[in-house]
Amino acid sequence: MTMIVRTLLTLFCIVFVHSARLTARILDLSQGWGVFQDVRDSGEKFGVYRPDWNPFAIGPVLSPWRPIDRLTHLQLLLAAQPYFGSELRYFNQAPWWYKLDFPTPNDGVKATLRFEGVDYYAKVWLNGQFLGDHEGYSEPFEFEVGGILVAQGNNRLVVKVSSPWDQEVEAARDNHPMTAVVRRMLKGTYEHSDTFIQRDVNPIGIWRPVRLILHDGLHPAEAPVVDTRLDKNATKAVVSISWPVALDSSPREVEWSVKILRESDGVEVARQARKLTLDQGKTTLQSDLDVNSPELWNTWDRGGPALYRARLAVGSLTRDVVFGIRTVELRRNANETAFLLNGRRIYLRGTSYWPDLYIGKSGWVRYERDIDAAIRVGINALRIHVHEENPELYELCDRKGIVLLQDSDLNWTFPTDEAFANRAVAHIRSMIQRLRNHPSIICWLLMNEAIGGITGARTIVSPGPQMFAEAMRLDPGRGVIKHSNANDDPDSGDTHDYRGSLKPGNYTDIFGTTGKLVTEFGVDAPPALESLHQVPRLADRLAEIMPRVAELHDYQYRLTKYYIEHYRIQKYAPNSGYFQFMWTDLSPQSFFGLHDYWGLPKAEGLGGGLRALEESNGPVGIFMEYKDAPLAIHAVNDKLNDLGICTASWIVTTAAGAVVTKGESRLPIGPDSHVRIGDLSFPVDDRVAYRVELTLAGPDGQVHARNVYLDPFHHPKRPEGYWQRMDHELGMRLWWAGHN
């Protein structure tokens, strides 16, 4: 089938869609587009948006339309290598124009033109009429266009898209030049100068579907909101539904109905219906329904994710919203930053997640692969780091029982003036309104490692307080962290710890320290060798590193294991959780992940960071406390069930197999608990490589946890030259300064 035929079939296909979003007639406008780059930004002057505009009639000032086969970021369509290279900068040095011709489905139809995602600034014209503009990359936006569609023939839809470079640079602070760029776009997916995201990458384009939604004059004004409240004993929940709708015609009598169904079996647990008259304009429909004996949403390791479905109908409109019933509390003081889920503290065993810096490349299949792999090694929490993911990610976390800390896009250095603060408040308001129905989200993180928002005295200034106030107003039932990495701020309370990694020293420097909630720690390691060869330029640059990849994977393993166990031994005294940075590499040459960009674990040598999680991150764990010598053995149970009288056993051997010491202890392991099993002490000979094996078994002999330490008292040093040695052209950190 030719591209022309496929395009015509798409354009003329009006389908009836019933989904979690909307029941309506929808015309998909995602194919058949043409683009060109307006290198002199003269397109508006020459009337590119006019239906009769002819690029050949005005000479060489503007380029002709270039067809594209799908909507996604332009770098993915037009760049030979979209993840690094100074040649990428031209994508953002001038705006791009998009054009689509499509037929009107019916005479006199009413319709909503909806863009699911345009990165970053957009101006929209339909049949020569300016509809409006929009700022953002992940926020859908729409226009009512029924009166603008032509009765016969084609409509012309034209969009101007830009995502410019920020040119303002401040002096480097704290000796970190990566923070120098003043980031005026609320967009965490571009222009990092520390090689986390390569300096020349700045995604641009219409990257999500465009749709024409046909209706009879009644249409959504905003998305529905579902709030839940539990009574004191959790025997009854009140489910509050709020749905703003708009009527473009004269008043209409309709029925407004709500049904609440259990998602697991479809059983109806509550219903409400009433007649009402909608006036022209906007009306907010509201209903409160009681759900008796509610099943509570929880993480997969603490009971599982019970879900409900609200089935809404008003006149011709229907909408299904999946939600969960649960309570969240963020308890903060000088000694504690802890989350309570359904009234009980929850220990977060987390990782940061950002599978691809071009968010459009991710979807259900990739998310499910990553989430299932994370659950297999005990992860119960993800931090969505400095960006917003596709809707499928949030739905999967709802269904699989993973809690989320959701960042905004404010990162490092940004303006602190009133105009920017207003934009930042609008940004967080939009994100909360869009995502708040997801029970998996337990916290909003408003700023990350803010430099522009911090004075020398580390007092948080604009726009942090304004964003915090807006988040608390809109969503008081969730936690809000104003500034990630502000441990002493009463509205924040988390830390980032990179000793032995981005910070000088050794990872064992954390010994004897405490952390209330640690939302970042980790270390780079190169991809699996078989992956590295898929990008020859990276392989060439790392040729001198390849013989030592196992050494770097081993360092990631040892650092990750030491950090995790250090925090788990502090469970609730004061530590309430940690987030390793990161689960996957977000580009071929960004190396913080435990998996590389292609999804392979960094498993050379001892097994990389993923092995550390396999040994130390399960809901039940047994750990040795140590630095240069053993000190004690600890057991942790993060589940809500009592494990009973358990047997902890240990054996220490030399590399030759000689037994140094062994023993066992019987003791109760209660629900959600930490137990210090006892001292572990033996003389350590610095010439010997020891092997320590720990086992925790239940009363029936079932092994709940096993842990192995290989040569634990010889700690490797941080690789020389890391992280100050970088290749900025490729956008990656290197190791062992002094080499070529």
pLDDT over 70, % of the chain:
93
> Final residue of a domain: which of 269, 289, 323?
323
Query: What is residue 138's predicted lDDT score, i.e. its pLDDT?
Result: 95
Mean pLDDT within 367-373: 98
Six-digit token string for 683: 């003389």
Higher per-residue confidence, 740 vs 185: 185
Which of 86-95, 188-197, 494-503, 700-709 has the least mean pLDDT? Answer: 188-197
Q: Are residues 60 and 80 in the same domain?
A: yes
258-281 in b/e form (b: 16+ CB < 10 A) is bbbbbbeeeeebbeeeeeeebeee
> 226 with 296, same domain?
yes
3-class state of residue 35 by DSSP: strand
CA distance 484 to 113: 37
Same-domain status, 20 and 126: yes
C-alpha separations of 7 from 78, 259, 268, 473 in Å = 20, 39, 42, 46
| 315 SS3 class | coil
Alpha-carbon dihedral sign for residues 553, 559, 565, 571: negative
Q: Count CB-CB contacts under 10 A for residue 86.
A: 11
Q: What is the pLDDT of residues 455-476, one digit of tens each?
A: 443 456 789 999 999 999 999 9
How far is Cα 90 from Cα 94, in angstroms, rounded to an integer?
A: 7
Domain-located, residue 733? no
Strands 34-37 and 96-103, by their bridges, are antiparallel
Sequence letter at residue 45: K
pLDDT (mean) for 479-500: 95
The reply to whether 171 and 111 lie within a common domain is yes
Above 50 in pLDDT, residue 148? Answer: yes
Residue with more model confidence, 739 or 125: 125
Name the residue among 683, 674, 668, 677 with its Cα closest to residue 713. 683
The domain tally of the chain equals 5
Average pLDDT over residues 138-151: 94
pLDDT attached to residue 153:
86
- Look at residues 171, 193, 215 and tell me which one is the last residue of a structural domain: 215
Element at 229 (helix H, strand E): strand 225-230
Say whether pTM exceeds 0.75: yes
Is residue 342 assigned to a domain?
no
Is residue 2's pLDDT more than 80? no
Establish if 687 belongs to a structural domain.
yes
**pLDDT single digits (tens) 276-324:** 999 999 999 999 999 999 999 999 999 999 999 999 999 999 999 999 9
Within a domain: 683: yes
Amino acid identity for residue 537 in this structure: R
**Letter string b/e over residues 3-36, b meaning 16 or more CB atoms within 10 A of that residue's CB:** eeeebeeebeeeeeeeeeebebbbbbbbbbbebb
- For residue 595, give the DSSP letter: B
CA neighbor of 193 nearest in space, from 411, 496, 421: 411
Q: Per-residue pLDDT for 738 more than 60?
A: no
pLDDT at 453 > cutoff 60: no
Instruction: Report d(CA 599, CA 531) in Å as an integer.
Output: 9
Question: What's residue 533's pLDDT?
Answer: 87
Kindly tell me if the per-residue pLDDT of 452 is higher than 60: no
Residue 720, domain member (yes or no): no
CB 651 within 8 A of CB 622: no
Q: What phi, psi does 14 have (nearest 5°)?
A: -100, 120
pLDDT exceeds cutoff 50 at 3: no
Helices (H), strands (E): how many in the chain? 10, 40
290 and 184, same domain (yes or no): no
Place of tokens 């294991």: 561
CATH number at residue 668: 2.60.40.10
Is residue 527 pLDDT above 50, yes or no?
yes
Contact 722, 738 (CB under 8 A): no
- pLDDT class of 349 with cuts at 50, 70, 90: very high
Q: In this structure, are residues 143 and 115 in contact, taking their beta carbons and an 8 Å threshold?
A: no
pLDDT digits (tens, 9 = 90+) for 81-138: 999 999 999 999 999 999 999 998 876 689 999 999 999 999 999 999 999 999 999 9
Please tell me whether residues 159 and 47 are part of one structural domain.
yes
In tens, the pLDDT along 605-617 reads: 999 999 999 999 9
Is residue 80 scored above 70 in pLDDT? yes
Q: Rounded to 5 degrees, what are φ and ψ at 536?
A: -55, -35
Is 740 within a domain?
no
Residues 207 and 233 reside in one and the same domain: no
Q: Counting beta carbons within 10 angstroms of the beta carbon of residue 538, is it exposed (0 to 12), middle (13 to 18) or buried (19 or more)?
A: buried
Q: Show the DSSP H helices in 200-340 as ranges.
A: none
Mean pLDDT of 228-248: 95
Whole-angstrom distance, CA of residue 300 vs CA of residue 304: 4
CA distance 346 to 369: 25
d(CA 662, CA 202) in angstroms, rounded, equals: 57
Stated as kind and residue range, the H or E segment containing 143 is: strand 141-144
Pick from 51-60, 222-231, 273-282: least confident: 51-60
List the beta bridge partners of residue 320.
311
Average pLDDT, rounded, for the chain: 92
Is the pLDDT assigned to residue 193 strictly greater than 50? yes
Would you say residue 240 has pLDDT above 80? yes
- Say whether pLDDT at 514 is over 50: yes
Q: What is the CA radius of gyration of the chain?
A: 28
Is 27:214 a contact under the CB 8 Å cutoff?
yes
Same domain, 454 and 569: no
User: What is each CA distance from 598 to 352, 392, 528, 533, 580, in whole angstroms?
Assistant: 17, 20, 9, 12, 19
Supply the DSSP string of 167-204, one letter for each residue.
Answer: --BPPPBTTBGGG-B---SS-TTS--SSSSS-TT----
Domain identity same for 23 and 131: yes
Task: Tell which residue, 502, 407, 412, 492, has the closest CA to residue 169.
Answer: 412
Judge if 478 and 513 occupy the same domain: no
Q: Which residues contact 593 (CB under 8 A, 6 or more apart)?
A: 582, 583, 584, 585, 586, 602
* Confidence label for 532 from pLDDT (cuts 50, 70 and 90): confident
Instruction: Indicate the residue among 215, 233, 252 that finishes a domain.
Output: 215
Q: Per DSSP, what are the bridge partners of residue 206?
A: 118
pLDDT for the residue 27 = 94
* In a domain? residue 726: no
Give the 3-state secondary structure of 460-516.
ECCCHHHHHHHHHHHCCCCEEECCECCCCCCCCCCEECCECCCECCCHHHHCCCCCC
Provide the residue type at 371 as one letter. I
For residue 224, pLDDT over 50 is answered with: yes
Q: 226 with 117, same domain? A: no
Which amino acid type is present at position 740?
Answer: N
For residue 693, being part of any structural domain is answered with: yes
Say if residue 357 is in the same domain as residue 498.
yes
Q: Given a cut of 60, is residue 139 above it in pLDDT?
A: yes
Closest CA to 637 of 392, 389, 349: 349
Contact (Cβ atoms closer than 8 angstroms) between residue 380 and residue 442? no
Instruction: Compute the average pLDDT of residues 409-420.
Output: 92
Lowest mean pLDDT among 265-269, 489-493, 543-547: 543-547
Residue 12 has what pLDDT? 34
Tell me the per-residue pLDDT of 11-26, one tens digit each, with 9 for 90 and over. 333 333 333 233 458 9
**Domain housing 639:** 629-710
